[in-house]
Structure 1
Amino acid sequence: MRIVDARVIVTCPGRNFVTLKIVTDEGVTGVGDATLNGRELAVAAYLTEHVVPLLVGRDPARIEDTWQYLYKGAYWRRGPVTMSAIAAVDTALWDIKGKVAGLPVYQLLGGRCREGVTVYGHANAETTDEVLVEIARYVDLGYRAVRVQTGVPGLAKTYGVSGDRMFYEPADAAIPTEAAWSTEKYLTHVPNVFAKVRAEFGPGLKLLHDVHHRLTPIEAGRLGKALEPFALTWMEDPVPAELQEGFRLLRQHTTTPIAVGEVFNTIWDCQQLITEQLIDYIRTTVVHAGGISHLRRIYDLAALYHVRSGSHGATDLSPVCMAAALHVDLSIPNFGLQEYMRHTPETDEVFPHAYTFDRGYLDPGDAPGLGVDIDEELAGQYPYRPASLPVNRLEDGTMHSW
């Protein structure tokens, strides 16, 4: 069996997605997600101009060799564009291998380690009272874990709060919009929110919160300490992760569990955080961390240091990526949680899939391969639309982390 074609498909059924479809001479196809939110066309160009020509004629069964070929064979390594492109190839090859074997991918990864994948939803609203209503809605849908985000009094707009509560999408304009940020107002507000949430929903519901890289280590330590009485499952992305030594300082000041890694691209980005046990959950994902093959390396390393998985699963990851993540989630021993932001009906139509949600769990299904595909004709009806993530400034106008 040989690869005879590889197509890069860019579509926008509500938001932009980049998909790679690999075709073999025996008619078996595989799909991989290559979406990089706000930089989709960069990955599409990298695939089209630099990767696809290397694939034609290769044996699709040689997944590891192909990964090493694309990674080590390029002088310029790592980075989100390169690793998202490699991820698309790797994921598509696993899809093909599963179809050839007649097995779902998770069986090729060692089989089930659990009956279902626990997922969390996003409850967000402008006010605390409104977010209590949103949390109740997720509980009614069967969710066992909920991420809680609210507006901050005194700020016109806050990350994580959207007009559409179920289909949150932060990329909101062709040219980035700007919002004002105040760390002081945020730190004062958030503990009060979680005090009311715990009082309303009791100790059983898993609660999470995303800081989105906006604090210094000592500020994050203050927040984590203030949130300890409410027993969060994790505090996500408390500080910018470029300075990983900052997590040592943060660790000294709070026992609130820490999750980080959705912007990481390789095992080397998180090696120190894992081996020094500075985090509790690693949030790398299939598409941005080099595919199923490389994500398994990260999670295998994490398992040695009591770090669990918590894969990113926002709407900028297509159903192809969600399906791939579920196969990994189901098969690893150190699974923690899986983010699950539901896609729009238009997206689900473009990407028909076998995974299902029931009582707070997702299951990838037992279709051979990933159990997901792309309807190319329907995808062609949704052309690319430029969309950028917003930027943040302090109230005095200083640029701040997004």
Structure 2
Amino acid sequence: MTDEHQTEGPARPVRWATITGVEVTPVAFADPPLLNSVGVHQPWAIRSVIRVRTDAGVVGLGESYGDQAFLGRLRQMGERLVGERIVDLHRLEEIARDVLAELTVSDTHGLTGTLSPVKSVARLVAAFEVALLDAQGHQLGVPVWALLGGQRRSRVEFSGYLFYKWAGHPGQPDDEWGPALDPAGVVAQARRMVEGYGFTSLKLKGGVFPPEQEAEAVLALAEAFPGMPLRIDPNAVWTVDTSVRVAERLRGVLEYYEDPTDGRAQMAEVARRVDVPLATNMCVVGVEDLPEAVRLGSVQVVLADHHYWGGLRASMELARTAEVFGLSLSMHSNSHLGISLAAMVHFGAAAPNIGYAFDTHWPWKSPEEDVVEPGVFTFRDGHLDVPTAPGLGVTLDEEALARQHRRYLEAGILDRDDTAYMQTVDPGYRALKPRW
């Protein structure tokens, strides 16, 4: 009798590829004048593209922030990774801590959580972890979601991300989106999002105009799109009382209420006084924040962000821990390219406890300005199909990378600074918290 599980011989061990070189390329792509609680987007969004080369010929791709100091840290870390195996992900945090011995932080635009040495390490780790997972996937011939525990869903849902915006950048022609400075403009923008991408939920970036005016915009959306799940995110610039007043005005309209006020204690006070779930990417930014947030009842939804949390594995840890505490998950977005979008989709494919559509800035970027070859991602009914190709499932477009690097050199923007850019238009502008 033979054992059906018997093998013909011992499995051959994998000889994991070793890193032979790392390239960090800053890029820029056109960004509309999207308004937020600390100012307005500059004409160019800056990002970094990471390419990890190996002795096995496989290449791993990553994408991250593009601020000048952060680029320097990425390059330092890339140099120290040469000689490491692509499987030894635990080494990333050790090397990142060495690189950041003299701390320099990035992402200072004020729209994410607190800056700290821990988060600076997490950002560095995330940039390279995605690239190494991509390389592992290519070496093994499996998608990244397989390395995260397997595929839970074949499609990942995204939400249309609405912004108040000017018609165009000062001194430049109006862009194709036009202005959105009142409820009618926001609804028109939403129609274009829904018609173009099929989104079945919508989020408005608030904190720009008086809260009553922003509530009117959400109510206009509810009238224009009956039954559609809606969200608003004023980035914590409202007081507790203002947050409660707006929630009462929008009773029965919001699917969740994102960061209306600042800090876990104040969010908990709002939660006690309203009947809508509170969400955050600002007051819970690490697993260590969860116990207090749960004890206080600060939030019911946490927005993951693999760039900010320390990579895809750390985001999976967040998902499992949040599930233990009875919290649900969505995902935060910033201006991004196709490599980041791919990483978000693989996380969405594998993660437990996803209760809401993910954010994405994707529609705000021209398809011609991406750095990956087109054709992998097409939105249908607000969803993206999960790739089945090895790694992230995207391929770097060399000509596009060179073009967008030239854009970076020509743009002359070394750091994202929404407040300083707003002050070129309104010299008296100040980023205030709270503002209302």
Q: Could you tell me the TM-score, scaled by structure 2's length?
A: 0.75
Aligned match of 1:368: 390
SS at match of 1:228: coil
More off after superposition, 192-201 vs 326-335: 192-201
The equivalent position to 2:80 in structure 1, one of 54, 63, 74, is 54
1:214 aligns with 2:237: yes
In 2: Cα distance, 1:106 partner to 1:11 partner? 27
Aligned match of 1:254: 274
Aligned match of 2:56: 26
The equivalent position to 1:355 in structure 2, one of 372, 377, 394, is 377
1:188 aligns with 2:188: no
- Greater Rg over alpha carbons, structure: 2
Written as runs of structure 1 = structure 2, the 5 A alignment for 1:38-77 is 40-49=67-76, 51-63=77-89, 65-70=90-95
The equivalent position to 1:331 in structure 2, one of 350, 354, 362, is 350
Structure 1's 104 and 274: CA in aligned 2 closer, same or farther, altered over 3 A?
Answer: farther
1:43, CA displacement in angstroms? Answer: 1.3
The equivalent position to 1:13 in structure 2, one of 10, 16, 29, is 29
1:71, CA displacement in angstroms? Answer: 5.1
Amino acid in structure 1 at the alignment position of 2:417: L
Aligned match of 1:154: none
In 1: Cα distance, 2:394 partner to 2:338 partner? 7
In 2: Cα distance, 1:97 partner to 1:331 partner? 16
Deviations 1:216-264 (A, max 9, x none): 223222222222232x122222123xx3222221111112222211696
Deviations 1:191-231 (A, max 9, x none): 3333332233222x11111112211223222222222232x
SS at match of 1:233: strand
Aligned match of 2:201: 145
In 2: Cα distance, 1:88 partner to 1:398 partner? 32
SS at match of 2:20: strand
In 2: Cα distance, 1:271 partner to 1:284 partner? 16
Amino acid in structure 2 at the alignment position of 1:10: P
1:4 aligns with 2:30: no
In 2: Cα distance, 1:58 partner to 1:277 partner? 43
Equivalent pair of 1:113/1:330 in contact (CA under 8 Å): yes
In 2: Cα distance, 1:246 partner to 1:216 partner? 8
Equivalent pair of 2:284/2:293 in contact (CA under 8 Å): no
In 1: Cα distance, 2:384 partner to 2:295 partner? 30
Deviations 1:99-140 (A, max 9, x none): 112111112222222231111112342121232223233332
In 1: Cα distance, 2:219 partner to 2:300 partner? 23
1:397, CA displacement in angstroms? Answer: 6.4
RMSD (Å) for aligned C-alpha atoms: 2.8
Equivalent pair of 1:31/1:95 in contact (CA under 8 Å): yes
The equivalent position to 2:223 in structure 1, one of 180, 193, 199, is 199
Structure 1's 353 and 85: CA in aligned 2 closer, same or farther, altered over 3 A?
Answer: farther
Equivalent pair of 1:354/1:371 in contact (CA under 8 Å): yes
Equivalent pair of 1:123/1:149 in contact (CA under 8 Å): yes
Equivalent pair of 2:271/2:277 in contact (CA under 8 Å): no
In 1: Cα distance, 2:200 partner to 2:373 partner? 26
In 2: Cα distance, 1:398 partner to 1:30 partner? 41
Written as runs of structure 1 = structure 2, the 5 A alignment for 1:386-397 is 386=413, 388-391=416-419
Equivalent pair of 2:257/2:279 in contact (CA under 8 Å): yes
1:276, CA displacement in angstroms? Answer: 4.7
Amino acid in structure 2 at the alignment position of 1:226: R
1:106 aligns with 2:145: yes
In 1: Cα distance, 2:79 partner to 2:290 partner? 31
1:58, CA displacement in angstroms? Answer: 0.7
SS at match of 2:309: coil
* Structure 1 unpaired stretches of 5+: 151-157, 160-180
In 2: Cα distance, 1:329 partner to 1:277 partner? 26
* Structure 2 unpaired stretches of 5+: 1-16, 31-44, 104-115, 164-179
Aligned match of 1:266: 286
In 1: Cα distance, 2:376 partner to 2:146 partner? 15
